[in-house]
């Protein structure tokens, strides 16, 4: 088996105030979802976002985008598949405001779904075990 993958790295050059606004975050999420869903699959470092996918993903995603944009439609948001650990206060605030929260494992995401029934993020669970009670 060969471990091949495609790495997609984008730099969002947005005005800081706009980037921190809800509209700025919605734009960011829309860009990430359009390039490679789900949003939770992206890592963030400052204004850079990166994700790994299977070979051929970008070509297939470009075709999906061509089809939906020809119909003047948007791609559906694909939500995350795991439940991350986030500070309770941050989660409550960002669920209300729609802003992104940073999970223990470093993933940024906008809480938009009920996490009950989702598999727990293994990296978050491991890091939680190292925190003082």
Q: Give the residues across from 83 on adjacent strands.
A: 120
Strands 119-120 and 82-83: parallel
**Shortest Cβ 42–Zn ion spacing (Å):** 13
Sole binder of Zn ion in the list 25, 49, 79, 84 (CB under 5 A): 84
Sole binder of Zn ion in the list 12, 91, 105, 125 (CB under 5 A): 105
HSE, CB side, 13 Å, CA atoms: give it for residue 11.
Answer: 1
Binding flag, residue 110, Zn ion (CB under 5 A): no
Binding flag, residue 33, Zn ion (CB under 5 A): no
**Shortest Cβ 69–Zn ion spacing (Å):** 32
Residue 23 to residues 63, 100, 112, 119, 127: CA-CA distances in angstroms? Answer: 27, 12, 16, 30, 32
Three-point CA angle 58, 121, 33, nearest 5°:
30
Q: Of the two residues 59 and 88, which places its CB atom closer to Zn ion in the complex?
A: 88
Q: Of the two residues 29 and 124, which places its CB atom closer to Zn ion in the complex?
A: 124
Question: Which residues in this chain contact Zn ion in the complex, by CB under 5 A?
Answer: 84, 103, 105, 121, 124
């Amino acid at each position: 088996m060969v471990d091949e993958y495609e790495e997609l790295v984008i730099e969002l050059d947005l005005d800081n105030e706009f980037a921190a606004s809800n509209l700025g975050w919605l734009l960011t999420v829309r860009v990430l979802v359009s390039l490679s869903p789900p949003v939770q699959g992206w890592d963030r470092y400052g204004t850079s976002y990166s994700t790994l996918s299977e070979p051929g993903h970008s070509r297939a995603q470009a075709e999906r985008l061509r089809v939906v944009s020809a119909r003047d439609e948007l791609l559906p948001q694909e939500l995350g598949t795991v439940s991350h650990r986030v500070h309770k206060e941050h989660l409550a605030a960002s669920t209300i405001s729609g802003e992104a929260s940073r999970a223990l494992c470093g993933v940024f995401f906008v809480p938009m779904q009920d996490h009950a029934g989702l598999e727990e993020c293994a990296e978050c669970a491991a890091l939680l075990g190292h925190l003082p009670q």
